């Protein structure tokens, strides 16, 4: 296994070069000498934990990123990282908006064809779970996976509500279907307590 000093040294060097920063510029930001930075990058010494936190903040990465040899994601210069996060949020919001746009379009077209409003409100009832599925996918890939429990809860309750409202349209009350939601919620809460094993 690679020495922690070597891992930290390589990560600091890569991040500094990626952000087009000299050793002296990084030293000035940290109130250290450029000789200290040079020692860190050669693996002769390692900054203490408080300085590592400061370095992580300067480069827009986590402390975990600095001390790991392999990274799931390639680091970007700090400005580009913010831009990437913003772009990802916008892509997710646009994708969700397309779902609502499709529901509105279907509502308008069927109302014009039928000449009256009947079942068309159900488009919106079923669009909510569809949009939540899209959000779950984007959240799993790009955002905080801990939020998935909340999204899955909303998805489950919105699906149960959709089923209930659909049956009400046909004058059948299936309110007992919400008992499934109670049981499902218990499962989701228990699932959220399962911790991922550390490598």
Torsions phi, psi of 161, nearest 5? -65, -40
pLDDT (tens digit, 9 = 90+) per residue, 179-188?
A: 999 999 999 8
Instruction: Tell me how many degrees the CA angle 52-55-56 measures, rounded to the nearest 5.
Output: 85
What's the predicted TM-score (pTM) here? 0.60
Tell me, what's the pLDDT at 198?
A: 42
Distance of CA 20 to the CA centre of its chain: 28
- Number of Cβ within 10 Å of residue 103's Cβ equals 21
User: What does the block give as tokens for 107?
Assistant: 């509502």
What's the mean per-residue pLDDT of the chain?
86
pLDDT (tens digit, 9 = 90+) per residue, 77-135?
A: 556 667 777 888 899 999 999 999 999 999 999 999 988 888 899 999 999 999 999 99
* CATH code given to domain 4-67: 1.10.260.40
- Average pLDDT over every residue of 168-178: 90
The radius of gyration of the chain from alpha carbons, rounded to an integer in Å, stands at 26
């Amino acid at each position: 296994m690679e020495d922690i000093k070597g891992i930290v040294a390589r990560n600091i060097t890569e991040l500094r070069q990626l952000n087009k920063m000299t050793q002296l510029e990084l030293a000035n930001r940290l109130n250290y000498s450029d000789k200290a930075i040079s020692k860190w990058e050669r693996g002769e010494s390692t900054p203490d934990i408080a300085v590592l936190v400061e370095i992580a903040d300067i480069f827009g990465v986590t402390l975990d990123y600095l001390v790991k040899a392999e990274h799931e994601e390639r680091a970007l210069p700090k400005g580009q990282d913010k831009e990437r996060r913003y772009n990802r949020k916008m892509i997710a919001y646009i994708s969700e908006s397309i779902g609502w746009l499709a529901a509105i379009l279907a509502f308008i077209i069927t109302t014009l064809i039928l000449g009256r409003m009947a079942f068309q409100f159900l488009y919106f009832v079923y669009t909510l779970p569809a949009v939540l599925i899209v959000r779950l996918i984007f959240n799993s890939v790009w955002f905080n996976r801990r939020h998935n429990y909340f999204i899955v809860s909303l998805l489950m309750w919105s699906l149960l509500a959709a089923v209930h409202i659909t049956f009400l349209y046909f004058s059948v009350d299936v309110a007992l279907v919400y008992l499934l939601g109670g049981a499902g919620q218990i499962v989701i809460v228990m699932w959220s307590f399962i911790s991922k094993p550390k490598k």
